[in-house]
Amino acid sequence: MAKGAVVDHQHYEWVRFPFEESHVRHRGGQTIPPNGVGNAYQQLIRVGREIVARHLPNDHLNNLYGTLGKAIDTHTRQGLTELASLRVPILYTEAITEFSARINGSEPPLDSDQLRRLGVALFSAIYVECADLPLGIDFQNSTSSAALTADVGSYAALKAFAETKSRTESDLALITTRTEERVQSLVGTAQSQLQGMIERNSTLQKQDTHLRAQIQQTIGDLKIDVEQLGETATAAKVVFDEVLKQSKENEARISLSRENIQRYADAVREELQIDTTKKLWKSRAQWSAASFWLSAGVIFAALAAPIHAAYTNMDGIIEILRHIGDAATQGLPADATTAQLTTATISRLVIITVPLAIYFWAIKLLVRFNARSMILMDDARQRETMMDVYFHLIEKNGATSEERALVLNALFRPAPGHGPENVDPPNFTELLNKAAAGKS
């Protein structure tokens, strides 16, 4: 078996093709009986055995292929009448034929080492895909049990990664669609509420106009009847004053409604205008958080992996250090001078310290990237929170235009590391003067 023949991404794509192509054909409506699936597996196993027989003639893998084929053949010939009863993925002979054509027609042609690795990878793929069957394969009886175990684990990991990536992309697409629908719903609701307020304002204006007309008519009637109803003039004046008071109250309510509508419209308009910026900061916060945790995991792995390797391979490390020391002193005479001994010692130190210096330099870069991701994550979340505060101030008229400018200045300050991050506070004397002017 090829040494170190762990299934890489290229060979994974090769051996994964028959299963993915069969899945596409099945979803497209192509039918196949259960025994047809068994024939397709036997054809695929024959392809693998031919590769192994040519390029790994003395390896135990050919026998393992035979054991694998018998287990699948036994399962597919148990009188199953429905594909749903199968415990193996559906496989079409057309997909196997195309797979063989791809191997034979590869440009440039696959060399012997690549074909050996392909034979091992194909066995690992069939073994993992049919893992639900009692295959009865014991790698410990193989002369290459460690390599086979590594190949099977590598294929399973690549398959799990591909399936997880596909599900993640589907989930992200669904979240994006739902977010867009939610935004459209919020915009529609805001427009509907704004239109309702405008209609209520129009109704109040019509009522005010009608009420003013009634007042004018009442005043005219009073002027006409004042000469005839002199004794009731005082009562008429009281009625007139009451009606005038109601008119002023109505005007005050209309003015307040207009002001509230205007503030709400301004808040909605501002939120719609810079909604893209808010989404951008939210996205940056998410990406920075993902970068932070990912780099933290890499740092942990980079620190823990050498410790684990040193603990589990202590004898090998000691042997390597001894070999380095022997190599540095090889060729020295028994009566070597002090300069020769010093040169040999420096050589050993250079061989050991240079890899350590590169390792700690890489750790430093990872720590710097981790700290930068954490700072950017906190900065994006702060901006998103300050934007919500800014919308609330506009809606509730809780701050003047100059005070809102301070919030905008903080919102659009330079990113960390691209300029001064402080926001100059307002002048205290200037605020006192504005407050005094507002009171007067």
| Element housing 69 (H / E) | helix 61-76
Task: Give the span between the Cα atoms of 404 and 424, in whole angstroms.
Answer: 14
Do 218 and 240 meet the contact criterion of CB atoms below 8 Å apart?
yes
Q: What is the pLDDT along the chain (440 residues), one digit of tens a residue?
A: 444 455 677 778 888 889 888 888 888 888 887 778 888 888 888 988 888 888 877 777 787 888 888 888 888 777 555 666 777 888 888 888 888 888 888 878 888 888 888 888 888 888 888 878 887 776 665 555 666 777 788 888 888 887 787 666 666 666 566 656 665 765 576 577 768 777 877 887 888 788 788 768 877 787 887 577 667 657 767 776 876 777 677 666 655 566 666 666 665 666 655 667 777 777 877 888 888 898 888 888 888 888 887 788 877 777 776 776 666 566 666 666 777 667 767 776 777 788 888 888 988 888 988 888 888 888 888 887 877 777 777 777 666 666 667 776 776 777 676 555 554 555 545 545 555 555 55
- The whole-number pLDDT of residue 361 equals 92
* Angstrom distances, CA of residue 95 to CA of 21, 44, 90, 137, 264: 6, 9, 11, 26, 62
φ, ψ dihedrals at 132, nearest 5°: -75, -10
**Secondary structure letter of residue 320 according to DSSP:** H
* Distant-in-sequence, close-in-space partners of 320: CB < 8 Å, separation ≥ 6: none
Task: Give the span between the Cα atoms of 337 and 332, in whole angstroms.
Answer: 9
What letters, b where the CB count within 10 A reaches 16 and e where it falls short, cover 126-144? bbbbbeebebebebeebeb
**Helix residue spans in 313-337 (DSSP H):** 314-329
**Secondary structure letter of residue 110 according to DSSP:** P
Task: Give the span between the Cα atoms of 68 and 125, in whole angstroms.
Answer: 12
- The whole-number pLDDT of residue 428 equals 47
Nearest Cα residue to 28 out of 111, 113, 109, 94: 94
Nearest Cα residue to 255 out of 203, 195, 205, 199: 205
Cα dihedral 81, 84, 88, 91, rounded to 10, equals 80
Task: Give the span between the Cα atoms of 36 and 45, in whole angstroms.
Answer: 14
pTM over 0.85: no
Nearest Cα residue to 142 out of 255, 58, 31, 83: 58
Would you state the structure tokens that stand for residue 214, as one six-digit string?
């009634």
